[in-house]
Amino acid sequence: MVLLMSYYGNGLGEVTVVKAGTGTVLIAGLAVGLAAAGVVNAFNMEYFGGMKRNKSYKDIAKRNAALGGALGAVVTAGMLTA
């Protein structure tokens, strides 16, 4: 299934099911990956570096998941316009 959306003037071109599915995986993958990486980094800085953290692991994971979702959306938009 191919949706040609160029007649709206948004420059998306072909939006296929494969591109949409890949975009969804990219957004979710980056969100989960950055959330996990942030928690691991906070633990490492606290355990090995001796630094105290001001936020809970849950807050760190939420913040990094939002960042990963935003980065995933940018990557997906770039993929769809290419």
DSSP 34-58: HHHHHHHHHHHHHHTT-PPPSS-HH
Tell me what pLDDT residue 4 has. Answer: 55
Tell me what pLDDT residue 18 has. Answer: 83
The maximal CA–CA distance of the chain, rounded, in angstroms, is 58
- CB neighbour list of residue 77: distance below 8 Å, 6 or more residues apart: none
* pLDDT average per 10 residues of sequence, the chain (82 residues): 54 72 88 91 88 86 90 84 73
Tell me what pLDDT residue 51 has. Answer: 83
User: Cβ(68)–Cβ(30) under 8 Å?
Assistant: yes
**Alpha-carbon distance 40 to 16, whole Å?**
36
Tell me what pLDDT residue 36 has. Answer: 92
Domain boundary assignment for the chain: 2-81
pTM of this prediction exceeds 0.85:
no
User: Cβ(79)–Cβ(12) under 8 Å?
Assistant: no
Tell me what pLDDT residue 55 has. Answer: 86
Tell me what pLDDT residue 11 has. Answer: 55
Token pair of 50, please?
Answer: 């001796």
User: Cβ(3)–Cβ(73) under 8 Å?
Assistant: no
